[in-house]
Structure 1
Amino acid sequence: MYDGHVHTPYCPHGSNHPLRAYVEQALKLGYKGLTFAEHAPLPEGFNDPVPAKDSAMEQGKLSAYLDELRTLKKEYKKDIPIRIGLEVDFIEGFEEETHRFLNETGPYLDDSILSVHFLKAGGKYTCLDYSPESFGELVTELGSLEAVYDQYFKTLTDSVKASLGTYKPRRIGHPSLVRKFHRRFPVSFPVLPKITALYKEIKAHNLAIDVNGAGLIKPLCGETYPYPEALDAAEKLGIPLVYGSDAHAPSQLGTGAVFLHGRVSPVVPD
């Protein structure tokens, strides 16, 4: 199994376990490789809306992150393939800054993921997966739960279409993250047509999907991203699917792997 979405101690809202602990746990699990994909520094000029301002790695730590992973990659070369990556946020209105960041950092990466965590509503940005309360604020601001879903899938579609240069990530992160709190905010409208429309753009742009197990351990979610029916739809379209644990601690490696066994690629597509 290849895990294409692993976080690190450089994540300010994760654990402080050393990078080596992740690799050793991956070896115990029989992993055939992994991508470390820490949250990239947020775009210049963007104000992190979460209270602790801890959504992403600090810009000043990026060089140390890359250096430490290069060392680890060499050390474990004979044991397990390690890819140096980032999870890059696509934020409406900050496309130029993201393009510039990718041009500067992309040459040092082996892999990367493009994700949407922040939605623009009412002239401000909200982190949709930070808490049920912040999600509820989005519902109020946009007028309905369906409007939040529509804004989320529109922003994801914009990320797929965006011209972010040579080093644009080739994989879209957890494409049903909007359902993280769905047990508290149950839908009364069809979701599958919305995500299927997104998939058609992903397919047209030759991108892959991060099939993410983290939602299974979120108490208000209890399902993978994408959720089972949406995963079926992606498979029918022949979109490359790459497993990601989205682990923020070594103990979380392999999250959802049993459920997703046989449905994802054993390696990250080039």
Structure 2
Amino acid sequence: MLTDYHAHLEKGTLSIDYLKQFVETAKQKGIKEFGISEHAYHFYETKNIVSKPWMEERRFYTMDDYVKLFYKANDLGMDVRMSIEMDYTPGRHNEMESFISSYPFDYVIGSVHWVDNFGIDLAEYRKEWDRRDLYETYRAYYDQIITLAESNLFDIVGHIDLVKIFNYVPKDKEFMQEQYERVTNALKNSKTCVEVSSAGMRKPVGRLYPEPELLSMCFQKGIPIVLSSDAHEPQQVGENYEASIQLAKETGYKSLMTFKDGKRKEVELG
């Protein structure tokens, strides 16, 4: 069994024809369960959760149109899960919970893309890395991953070590060990799965998310996984999955979690 639960339609349209391109690619690559998890900031209904100038320029969908797309896909016999990728926002737990519970998501991904007003994975903000204290940024990032897990609002944490995207990585191994320990301690007590994401392979860092050491800690503490590509174009669905599967199996994982109607089921890793 293979999954790809992290994909975005934002470079195209909320249309059946565009969605079908993603679903067909998933089929061709042997992915049995596929889901779309559009960025929540694209929707007008999330403005009370998180609002930054960068996001407001990209807020152009309604949840009504999004939900209708999946109902139409279901009517046409397309097997695709409906999800959302929520920017975890400290201090907005009630608002996030209200939004998540208002729609029939099969699962929900929580991710951290911002440290205060610093978009850590955005090319527009890349020079900020040279202006900021690397260790403070990493600690603040993982602080949010921890409270994301503790909130128990999310089924999956997206690209858990996204913070390494531009290859700015602390050299102090003890520091990194500390971050991994406290993050996995939070995750083992939550319902949140970790995605093994091939997206990092096409980013400047050129590595999977998460690092082998971090994934190993997840395995040792019984934290389940899913496979994802974070595809932003149809051809990226299932991209570099050979590396993801190899890492998962070498770590010791023999199973994945699947999701439907907000419920999860453990299946054998294909």
- TM-score norm. by structure 2 comes to 0.82
Counterpart in 2 of 1:116? Answer: 112
Post-superposition shift, 1:198?
A: 0.4
Counterpart in 1 of 2:267? Answer: none
Matches within 5 A, 1:49-60: 49-50=53-54, 53-54=57-58, 58=60, 60=61
Deviation string for 1:23-57 (max 9, x for gaps)?
11111111111111111134416332438833xx5
Q: Is the 8 A contact 2:226 2:257 kept in 1?
A: yes
Structure 2 Cα separation of the partners of residues 228 and 73 of structure 1: 37
Matches within 5 A, 1:27-42: 27-40=27-40, 41=43, 42=46
1:215 to 173, 183, 200: 200
Q: Is the 8 A contact 1:3 1:35 kept in 2?
A: yes
Structure 2 Cα separation of the partners of residues 155 and 45 of structure 1: 15
SS state at 2:143 partner: helix
Q: Deviation above 6 Å: which 4+ runs of structure 1? A: none
Distance 1:52 1:181, change over 3 A: farther
2:170 to 187, 193, 198: 187
Q: Is the 8 A contact 1:2 1:34 kept in 2?
A: yes
- What is the one-letter code of the residue matched to 2:180? I
Structure 1 Cα separation of the partners of residues 82 and 186 of structure 2: 27
**Does 1:44 pair with 2:48?**
yes
Post-superposition shift, 1:236?
A: 2.1
2:146 to 140, 149, 157: 157
Structure 2 Cα separation of the partners of residues 119 and 74 of structure 1: 41
Post-superposition shift, 1:139?
A: 5.7
Structure 2 Cα separation of the partners of residues 193 and 156 of structure 1: 14
Counterpart in 1 of 2:63? Answer: 62
- What is the one-letter code of the residue matched to 2:242? V
Q: Is the 8 A contact 2:6 2:37 kept in 1?
A: yes
In structure 2, list runs of 5 or more residues that go unmatched.
265-270
2:212 to 190, 214, 228: 228
More helix by share: 2
Q: Is the 8 A contact 1:50 1:130 kept in 2?
A: no
- What is the one-letter code of the residue matched to 1:201? A
Distance 1:33 1:196, change over 3 A: same
Structure 1 Cα separation of the partners of residues 156 and 80 of structure 2: 17
2:121 to 122, 129, 132: 129
- What is the one-letter code of the residue matched to 1:113? I
